[in-house]
């Protein structure tokens, strides 16, 4: 049985139940008969995204659920993200990802940030981030404005390191400017890889639990290749992330999709443009690659 391409586990489960024309009550009875009982409330939570199977008993029931719905073995399990940390693990300081640009490796990234102060990065909780991208009538990316809401988890935090990259490997990287509550400090450029890393220095030193709104802008050097997408590589978790890509009404894409990649697995879903010719995507608890990509008509 084939289910329409879903965006996540809950979507896939809900679609499979609809296609099978069964009910949660019936599924609960069948799972109980197979020795892997799951309550009706739990099944409801799974299909709405309120919770997901994580414990061994739930995962065993999920294997039976796939069979009951006529799905290929592992098709629902493959859509599950890594289990959320519990207990002490949930309180550990998050470890940043080691790469920036899609083509970079750990060595390139380490060289890029070698002279910058990354010691405070993990002392900032990223409460929200918002990237706004402008695409011109020539289908080229012009500017990226980024706004972040940050919270210091210790006294004395006064900076954050941001990274970006060129539209192609080896191309000229964008320039960075501080717009609100920050100025640009040290900047490192990797011209071979086309990457940039910069310190944003806050306008004052933060006290513990103090929040700050920081805005900066990237200008894309011209001429630049036709843009086919934009992605954020979130090295540390972001609680709420909004990505907006605004297209010139004289040059609209044929279609647009949102994608995410965590642990080497990519998930994709279609995205429509709104009345302002803008595509947007929103993610919670983001760490990894997340973006929008599109295709142009003739």
pLDDT digits (tens, 9 = 90+) for 101-129: 666 667 777 788 888 888 888 899 999 99
Q: Are 279 and 294 in contact (CB under 8 A)?
A: yes
- Between 112 and 96, the higher pLDDT residue: 112
**Fold of domain 9-79:** 434 Repressor (Amino-terminal Domain) (1.10.260)
Question: Residue 118: which of 136, 97, 104 has the closest Cα?
Answer: 97
**Same fold for the pair 9-79 and 94-296:** no
Question: Residue 51: which of 90, 18, 88, 81 has the closest Cα?
Answer: 81
Residue with tokens 């750990």: 106
169-207 confidence digits (pLDDT tens): 778 889 999 999 999 999 999 888 888 999 999 999 999
Measure the CA–CA gap between 209 and 103, rounded to whole angstroms. 36
Question: Rounded mean pLDDT of 3-26?
Answer: 72
Q: Secondary structure of the chain in the HEC alphabet? A: CCCCCCCCHHHHHHHHHHHHCCCHHHHHHHHHHCCCCCCHHHHHHHHHCCCCCCCHHHHHHHHHHHHHCCCCCCCCHHHCCCCCCCHHHHHCCCCCCCCCCCCCCHHHHHHHCCCCCCCCHHHEEEEEEEEEEEECCCCCEEEEEEEEEEEECCCCEEEEEEEEECCCCCCCCCEEEEEECEEEEEEEEECCCCEEEEEEEEEEEECCCCEEEEEEEEECCCCCCCCCEEEEEEEEEEEEEEEEEEECCCCCEEEEEEEEEECCEEEEEEECCCCCCEEEEEEEEEEEEEEEEEEECC
For the chain, the domains span 9-79, 94-296
Question: Rounded mean pLDDT of 67-89?
Answer: 68
pLDDT of residue 18: 79
pLDDT of residue 194: 86
Bond into 223 cis (ω within 30): yes
Average pLDDT of the chain is 84
**Fold of domain 94-296:** Immunoglobulin-like (2.60.40)
Six token digits for residue 27: 């599924």
pLDDT of residue 81: 54
- Tell me: pLDDT of 161 over 70: yes
pLDDT of residue 127: 95
- Tell me: pLDDT of 148 over 60: yes
Question: Rounded mean pLDDT of 46-70?
Answer: 84
pLDDT of residue 12: 79
227-257 confidence digits (pLDDT tens): 999 988 887 889 999 999 999 999 999 999 9
pLDDT of residue 86: 53
> What strands, in cross-sheet order, belong to the sheet with 182-190?
157-165, 195-206, 182-190
- Between 11 and 228, the higher pLDDT residue: 228
Q: Rounded to the nearest 5 degrees, what angle is found at the Cα of 293, between the Cα atoms of 291 and 296?
A: 165
């Amino acid at each position: 049985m084939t289910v329409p391409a879903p965006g996540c586990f809950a979507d896939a489960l809900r679609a499979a139940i609809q296609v099978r024309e069964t009910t949660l009550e019936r599924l609960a009875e069948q799972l109980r008969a197979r020795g892997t009982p799951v309550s009706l409330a739990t099944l409801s939570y799974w299909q709405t995204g309120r919770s997901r199977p994580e414990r061994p008993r739930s995962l065993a029931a999920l294997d039976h659920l796939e069979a009951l719905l006529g799905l290929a073995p592992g098709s629902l399990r493959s859509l599950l993200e890594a289990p959320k940390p519990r207990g002490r693990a949930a309180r550990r300081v998050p470890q940043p990802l080691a790469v920036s640009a899609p083509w970079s490796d750990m060595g390139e990234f380490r060289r890029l940030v070698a002279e910058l102060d990354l010691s405070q990065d993990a002392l900032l909780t990223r409460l929200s981030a918002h990237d706004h991208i402008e695409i011109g009538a020539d289908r080229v990316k012009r500017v990226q404005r980024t706004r972040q809401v940050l919270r210091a988890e210790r006294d004395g935090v006064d900076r954050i390191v941001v990274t970006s990259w060129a539209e192609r490997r080896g191309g000229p990287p964008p320039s960075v400017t501080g717009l609100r509550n920050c100025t640009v400090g040290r900047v490192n450029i990797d011209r071979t890889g086309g990457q940039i890393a910069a310190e944003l220095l806050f306008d004052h030193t933060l006290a513990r639990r103090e929040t700050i709104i920081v805005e900066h802008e990237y200008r894309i050097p011209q001429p630049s290749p036709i843009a086919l997408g934009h992605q954020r590589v979130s090295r540390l978790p972001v609680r709420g992330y909004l990505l907006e890509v605004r297209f010139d009404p004289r040059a609209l894409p044929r279609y647009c999709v949102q994608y995410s990649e965590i642990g080497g697995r990519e998930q994709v879903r279609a995205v429509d443009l709104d009345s302002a010719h803008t595509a947007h995507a929103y993610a919670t608890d983001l760490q990894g690659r997340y973006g929008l990509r599109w295709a142009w008509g003739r």
